[in-house]
A and B are shown apart, each in its own frame.
Chain A
Amino acid sequence: MKVKITVNGMLYNKHIPNDMMLLEFLRKYGYVSVKRGCDTSNCGLCTVWVEGKPVLSCSYPAARADGKNVTTLEGVKDEAASFGRYMTAQGVEQCGYCSPGFIMAALAMRRELTNPTEEEVAHYLAGNLCRCSGYAGQTRALRAWLHDKPWEKEGQV
């Protein structure tokens, strides 16, 4: 079928297979930050935003994204890099494979929740799994990031 999907502000007017998932569509057009993880709707690695809301692109039909705005990590790279510095400072990453999905979920949380408590942060990000770490580094990085609010100084949305 023919779809019009806007990814990070760029319109794609394409014919796609009817059973294509958004993950496959995005990777096909070069958005390789979007990772295939469990492929069974469990791990959160493939998180992207559709109309600003985080969704699992491995289970979101590309056809359903017709006419919608999709945001990947590439579309918020400055803010992602800023948050990434907090992650680096806390030694969060080991293999780093889960980071794009984790960052997309964290940035969505920042937009959705006002001054979240640590419990709310943990609850919001519970669906983003990391097989290497024990989440302690992520928690420290998030705490510092939410405290510093670098997006206010950097003029991000």
Chain B
Amino acid sequence: MYTIKSYVFPESLEEADELLHRDCRNNAVLGGCCWLKLGRRRIRWAIDLTRLGLDQIEVKDGFLELGACITLRQLETHPAVTARFDGLLGESVSHIVGVPFRNCATVGGSVFSRFGFSDLTCALLALDASVVLYRGGEVPLAEFMASPIAFDDILLKVRIKDDGRRAAYQSVRRSATDFPTLAVAVSCLDGRWKVSVGARPGRAVQAEEAARCLNDGRGPEAAGVAAGAELTFGTDLRAGADYRKKLAAVLVRRAAQTCIERENKG
């Protein structure tokens, strides 16, 4: 059971930041609110950013910029997103619950919360994205994902270099709209690879040894084995750690193969 004492639409980011810092422990910036009811937070000031123009998808200065209030459905349908990175971002979110859910859930809510089950953070990691925070400035997503959640900053946008890299996504689910049992994203630019694995069930991380395998030309099979060996996996109600480890090897191999095929097709 959650409660909200005051609900506010700040008129500026300065106001949102000031409100948040009145009491970071008890005030909260709202995202898509899809999981809000499952928590037990007693929120003093709920800060709603939806009127601050953070719902923009922009391509500027060689970057694709996704505002924090962009919905997952927009990632799936906006031409500026679907036309880039082989549609990786849209594909990664397209199995999350259903369209009404994805019209609520936001990029900011998904990324800031660093959910282990998040398909989106896994895809963004493979694209070497960064996040822009109100106080903290621009931070590489990999660094942000590894840091503990601090409720004292506001995520403004996600930035991805618009470098035309090829990409592919793989996930396994027990049923069509369930959380992923494991998720893998892979990208390649000029022979340099990025591999990320999510829903381990911990937070998504980059598989650097797997990427090295691909960089060195040892092939998708070796990259898959490396990803299974280098990362830690856990057990939850969806799968055991050993199963996830084997799954990682298969999904990394498949994603890398898909990426290579796309590269060869041009």
- Let me know if B7 and A127 touch, CB within 8 A: no
Q: Does A151 contact B (CB under 8 A)?
A: no
Q: Tell me whether B37 is interfacial, beta carbon within 8 Å.
A: yes
Tell me whether A55 and B100 are in contact in the complex, defined as CB-CB below 8 angstroms, given that A19-B3, A61-B33 are known contacts.
yes
Q: Mark B14-54, 1 if CB is under 8 A from A, else 0.
A: 00000000000000001011111110000100101010000
Q: Closest CB-CB distance, A66 to chain B, in whole Å?
A: 8
Counting contact residues on chain B (CB < 8 A from A), the size range is 20 to 34
Do B99 and A60 have beta carbons less than 8 Å apart?
Answer: no
A127 touching B104 in the complex, CB below 8 Å, given contacts A21-B37, A59-B36, A59-B37:
no
Q: How far is the CB of A119 from chain B (nearest CB, A)?
A: 12
Determine which residue in B33, B48, B94 has the highest number of CB atoms from chain A within 10 A of its CB, and name it: B33
The one of B6, B38, B100 in contact with A18, judged by C-beta atoms closer than 8 angstroms, is: B6
Interface pick from A4-12, A34-42, A77-85, A88-96: A34-42
Q: Does B232 contact A (CB under 8 A)?
A: no
- Shortest A103–chain B CB gap in Å is 13
User: B7, B99, B101: which contacts A108 (Cβ < 8 A)?
Assistant: B99
In the complex, what distance in Å separates the CA atom of A124 from the CA atom of B34? 18
Interface hits, B96-147 → A, CB 8 Å = 97-104
B2 touches A47 (CB 8 A): no
Is B176 engaged at the interface, CB distance under 8 Å to the other chain? yes
Q: Is A140 engaged at the interface, CB distance under 8 Å to the other chain?
A: no
Quick check: B4 and A56 within 8 Å, CB to CB?
no
B residues touching A (Cβ–Cβ < 8 Å)?
Answer: 2-7, 9, 30, 32-38, 43, 46, 48, 50, 73, 94-95, 97-104, 176-177
Could you give 8 example pairs across A and B, Cβ below 8 Å? A18-B46, A19-B4, A40-B38, A53-B73, A59-B33, A60-B33, A124-B99, A127-B98
Closest 5 pairs between A and B when the two form their complex, measured CB to CB: A127-B98, A19-B4, A18-B7, A18-B4, A54-B100
Having A1-B6, A55-B100, A61-B33, one finds 7 other A-B pairs with CB under 8 Å, namely A18-B7, A42-B177, A59-B104, A64-B33, A101-B100, A105-B99, A127-B100
